[in-house]
Amino acid sequence: MLRRETLGEIQNRTIEPGRGFGKAHIRSLQPISKPQSVLKEEADEEEMERSRSHEEPIPPLDENIDEDDADNPQLCSEYVNDIYKYLRELEVKYTVPSTYMTSQRDINAKMRAIVVDWLIQVHQRFHLLPETLYTAISLLDRYLAVQAVAKNRLQLVGVTAMLVASKYEEIYAPELRDFVFIVDNAYTAAQIRATERTMLRLLKFELGKPLPLHFLRRNSKAGQVKS
């Protein structure tokens, strides 16, 4: 193994007293011309500036970005502005306080992060939609904001959130036994069902909180982002 130098061993070269740089030495340090690497970097920067000047400008805010979608009924171009206005209202309505974890006595933010990482792995294992993952994490946070959870039941809440999100977002959602298998039988099907009933009751069956993906897609369209 290579020995790493300590900060104390890294020293700048010093000039002994009375032996400063003379004029001749200073002249020898001045480059006659710029190195080729510097010239190349400057040329690259100039090329980037020229390419930026030829980029298509971002459309103004008052431009109708939905004018070409009138023939596509799935895009609802006639109502899209009202829809996103309503989604913004729902986002404010269902906002989870940033300090909600302080109400939990047996778990902390680090444990919550571990469960989220595990949910991402479950999401990839089942090949679910991106909306399902975002909805599951949203349900987890909203549940933890209103219900105290013991440490040994945090994963149960996480897998239940993924089950509910799958039912809400997926056309073909994984079965309950699949979720029992994915937790290695740490929780029974009856426990997951009971937690599902509790979660839906506490959240008043209001599962339509807008996701970041909804606004990201809209903003990407407004910014003419090319996939």
Q: Is residue 139 part of a domain?
A: yes
Cβ-in-10-Å burial (0-12, 13-18, 19+) of 116 comes to: middle
Helix axes 189-202 and 130-146, enclosed angle (nearest 10):
70
Judge if 112 and 134 occupy the same domain.
yes
Judge if 152 and 205 occupy the same domain.
yes
Judge if 154 and 73 occupy the same domain.
no
Query: For residue 126, what pLDDT is reported?
Result: 94
DSSP label at residue 54: T
Q: Is residue 41 part of a domain?
A: no
Query: For residue 53, what pLDDT is reported?
Result: 54
Q: Is residue 39 part of a domain?
A: no
Judge if 90 and 141 occupy the same domain.
no
Judge if 85 and 157 occupy the same domain.
no
Judge if 89 and 135 occupy the same domain.
no
Last residue of a domain, one of 75, 95, 115: 95
pTM score: 0.65
Residues in the chain predicted with pLDDT less than 50, given as ranges, are: 1-32
Q: Is residue 227 part of a domain?
A: no
Judge if 112 and 194 occupy the same domain.
yes
> Could you give the count of Cα atoms lying within 13 Å of 2 in the half-sphere of its Cβ?
3
Q: Domain range for residue 168? A: 99-212
Judge if 205 and 129 occupy the same domain.
yes
Query: For residue 179, what pLDDT is reported?
Result: 94
What would the DSSP string read from start to end of 104-152?
-SS--HHHHHHHHHHHHHHHHHHT--HHHHHHHHHHHHHHHHHS---GG
Query: For residue 40, what pLDDT is reported?
Result: 64
- Please check whether residue 207 is in contact with residue 199, taking contact to mean a CB–CB distance below 8 angstroms: no
94 Rama sector, left if φ>0, alpha if ψ -120 to 50, beta otherwise:
alpha
Q: Is residue 57 part of a domain?
A: no
Judge if 138 and 197 occupy the same domain.
yes
How far from 82 is each of 87, 179, 210, CA to CA, in Å? 9, 38, 14
Judge if 88 and 160 occupy the same domain.
no
Q: What is the CATH number of the domain that holds 131?
A: 1.10.472.10
Query: For residue 54, what pLDDT is reported?
Result: 55
Q: How many structural domains are present in the chain? A: 2
> Could you give the count of Cα atoms lying within 13 Å of 182 in the half-sphere of its Cβ?
23
